[in-house]
């Protein structure tokens, strides 16, 4: 798995912190890691973006950002409004392949969900993943509504012949409600893929050293961690 595409079921689902946890676990396993942010929106020039946040939390890795647009909008819309060139799926493919030639693992982080448009032609992260023939990790929310968005994302991946590696809950609440607890069982069923982790709410606020130590306990062995879905269900009362 030299290239892994990481997408969310929407915005603000914990995608960047999850990317950082995956990177931290891979680094702890002795692998060289690069993080590619296809399009960064809503960040001014000179400000740290998502790739920089991943490096801050995870440790020594290579970061790359293909384009940056000032307004917090879909990349295609943000590029048009800023009068800047859009990112195209082929740009993502070429950058990821170049990084993969020099690293054990390349994490390609999208913007928002799988079908957020990059350009006026309707190019998306899904198109880049298809060209790369890369597996996709989906970051989902814990609570009510997540089953619908997760299943829609999974269906789109299957329709394109893409491998859904699994689902990670990007922010697990301190006091999960009934829907969240039930979703631990239901998410892998609707996705047709395993649940590969759950990050505690507020994980991104941990000091980097503490984040790196804790990350392995949030992700499954498939992602170089020690987290186990069945044990998590038991601890959280999710066997409902």
145 token code pair: 């509504």
The residue among 185, 138, 173 whose CA lies nearest residue 158 is 138
Q: Which residue has the higher pLDDT, 240 or 17?
A: 17
Q: Can you give the pLDDT at residue 239? A: 63
pLDDT in tens, 89-133: 999 999 999 999 999 999 999 988 999 999 999 999 999 999 999
From 37, 88, 103, 181, the catalytic residue: 37
pLDDT in tens, 143-197: 999 999 999 999 999 999 999 999 999 999 999 999 999 999 999 999 999 999 9
Can you list the domains of the chain with their CATH numbers?
3-236 (3.40.50.300)
Q: Can you give the pLDDT at residue 240? A: 55
Share the mean pLDDT of the chain: 95
Please tell me whether residue 89 adopts helix, strand or coil conformation. helix
pTM here is: 0.95
212/200 Cα distance (integer angstroms) = 14
- Give the percent of the chain with pLDDT over 90: 94
15 is catalytic: no
Mean pLDDT calculated for residue range 20-36: 98
pLDDT in tens, 194-233: 999 999 999 999 999 999 999 999 999 999 999 999 999 9
134 token code pair: 């890369």
- Helices H / strands E in the chain, number of each: 9, 9
């Amino acid at each position: 798995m030299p290239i892994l595409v990481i997408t969310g079921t929407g915005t603000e689902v914990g995608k960047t912190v999850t990317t950082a946890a995956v990177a931290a676990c891979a680094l702890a396993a002795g692998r060289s890691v690069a993080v590619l942010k296809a399009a960064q929106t809503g960040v001014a020039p000179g400000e740290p973006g998502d790739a920089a946040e991943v490096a801050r939390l995870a440790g020594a890795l290579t970061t790359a950002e293909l384009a940056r647009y000032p307004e917090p909008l879909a990349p295609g819309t943000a590029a048009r409004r800023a009068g800047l060139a859009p990112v195209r799926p082929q740009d993502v493919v070429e950058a990821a392949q170049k990084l993969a030639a020099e690293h054990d693992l390349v994490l390609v982080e999208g913007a928002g969900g799988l079908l957020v448009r990059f350009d006026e032609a309707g190019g998306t992260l899904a198109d880049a993943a298809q060209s790369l023939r890369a597996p996709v990790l989906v970051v989902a929310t814990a609570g009510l509504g997540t089953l619908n968005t997760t299943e829609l994302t999974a269906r789109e991946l299957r329709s394109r012949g893409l491998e859904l590696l699994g689902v990670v809950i990007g922010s697990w609440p301190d006091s999960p409600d009934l829907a969240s607890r039930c979703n631990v069982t239901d998410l892998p069923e609707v996705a047709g893929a395993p649940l590969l982790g759950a990050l505690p709410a507020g994980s991104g606020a941990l000091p980097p050293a503490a984040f790196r130590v804790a990350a392995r306990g949030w992700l499954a062995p498939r992602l170089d961690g020690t987290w186990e879905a069945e044990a998590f269900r038991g601890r959280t009362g999710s066997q409902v």
